[in-house]
């Protein structure tokens, strides 16, 4: 049984419908080229449960898990380009956010405050925050407390509810909710941006051949260029793809290494 998943950006609800329409268009292009593709997206597992499945046709991962755990175990297909603020092409920053009534004006003002991160392997929520904070840390410490929430929107909820003071939020996640569910960002404001790095890549299983990969890239480009898909693409804010390599994603390892050199190996 083959599987496809697009759970990295699958909220709020209207986005799920757009992802379903996007996959239907991709599926049609793949099948027209003689490639097998599952009928629908799978949402029965966690977002990371698909990455190493041997039956993965099409999925999406975060760049930092890719360089830390997936490189050499999956294949890169392409990296999407979105029109939302906080990026340039396929490169994305995270927004550093606080409550609206918080007096902090920039990242340096967050010293001694409480941070929320979505996951220790997250690029947008942890790795980019780490390199943004590292120049301001003292003896490997900057925050007074770090809470792992399990998701960007859970981090926002923690800030709103007073359980944390700040977080780094993926700029696509922020853009999708600002546009389609702004109430979920109520009471939260942006005080800064992290450095940019390559965004979340589309991936497929390791044994996929070069010709198959090229066909997938061609199908993706055609889907994005087809006016019949404009509705779904508009909801997603998806405008194109870029073909990035392991060398491009090594920049995220560079952020990790630079933070270590600055004496800040872990968000703390």
As a residue count, the chain comes to 268
> Are 55 and 141 in the same domain?
no
The strand pairing partners of 146, in sequence order, are 115
> Are 93 and 193 in the same domain?
yes
Contact yes or no for 147/114 (Cβ under 8 A): yes
> Are 191 and 217 in the same domain?
no
> Are 94 and 188 in the same domain?
yes
> Are 184 and 205 in the same domain?
no
Is 49 within a domain?
A: yes
> Rounded to an integer, what distance in angstroms lies between the CA atom of residue 137 and that of residue 82?
32
| Burial class of residue 34 (count of CB atoms within 10 Å of its CB; 0-12, 13-18, 19+) | exposed
> Are 37 and 102 in the same domain?
no
- CATH number of 153's domain: 3.40.190.10
| Burial class of residue 247 (count of CB atoms within 10 Å of its CB; 0-12, 13-18, 19+) | exposed
Is 257 within a domain?
A: no
Tokens representing residue 161 in the block: 């509810």
Q: By residue range, what is the domain housing residue 115?
A: 88-197
Q: Which pTM does this prediction carry?
A: 0.97
Per DSSP, 68 falls in state I
| Burial class of residue 162 (count of CB atoms within 10 Å of its CB; 0-12, 13-18, 19+) | exposed
Tell me, what's the pLDDT at 232?
Answer: 98
Is 259 within a domain?
A: no
Tell me, what's the pLDDT at 90?
Answer: 98
> Rounded to an integer, what distance in angstroms lies between the CA atom of residue 259 and that of residue 103?
26
Is 215 within a domain?
A: yes
What is the tally of structural domains in the chain?
Answer: 2
Residuewise pLDDT in 10s, the chain (268 residues): 899 999 999 999 999 999 999 999 999 999 999 999 999 999 999 999 999 999 999 999 999 999 999 999 999 999 999 999 999 999 999 999 999 999 999 999 999 999 999 999 999 999 999 999 999 999 999 999 999 999 999 999 999 999 999 999 999 999 999 999 999 999 999 999 999 999 999 999 999 999 999 999 999 999 999 999 999 999 999 999 999 999 999 999 999 999 999 999 999 9
């Amino acid at each position: 049984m083959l599987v496809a998943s697009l759970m990295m950006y699958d909220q709020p609800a209207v986005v799920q419908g757009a992802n379903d329409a996007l996959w239907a268009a991709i599926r049609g292009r793949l099948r027209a080229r003689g490639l097998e593709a599952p009928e629908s997206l799978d949402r029965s597992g966690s977002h990371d449960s698909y990455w190493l499945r041997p039956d993965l046709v099409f999925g999406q991962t975060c760049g930092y898990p890719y360089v830390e755990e997936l490189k050499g175990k999956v294949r890169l297909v392409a990296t999407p380009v979105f029109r939302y603020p906080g990026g340039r092409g396929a490169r994305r920053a995270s927004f550093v956010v606080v409550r609206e009534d918080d007096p902090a004006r920039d990242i340096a003002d967050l010293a001694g405050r409480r941070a929320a991160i979505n996951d220790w392997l997250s690029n947008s929520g942890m790795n980019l925050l780490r390199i943004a904070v590292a120049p301001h840390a003292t003896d490997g410490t900057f925050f007074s407390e770090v809470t792992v929430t399990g998701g960007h929107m859970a981090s926002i909820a923690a800030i709103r509810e007073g359980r944390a003071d700040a977080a780094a939020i993926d700029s696509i996640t922020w853009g999708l909710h600002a546009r389609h569910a702004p109430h979920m960002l109520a009471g939260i404001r942006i005080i800064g941006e992290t450095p940019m790095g390559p965004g979340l890549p589309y991936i497929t299983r390791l044994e996929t051949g070069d010709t198959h990969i090229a066909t997938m890239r061609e199908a993706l480009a055609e889907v994005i260029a087809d006016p019949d898909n404009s509705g779904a693409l508009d909801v997603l804010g998806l405008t194109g793809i870029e073909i990035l390599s392991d060398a491009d994603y090594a920049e995220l390892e560079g952020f990790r290494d630079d933070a270590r050199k600055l004496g800040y190996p872990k968000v703390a």
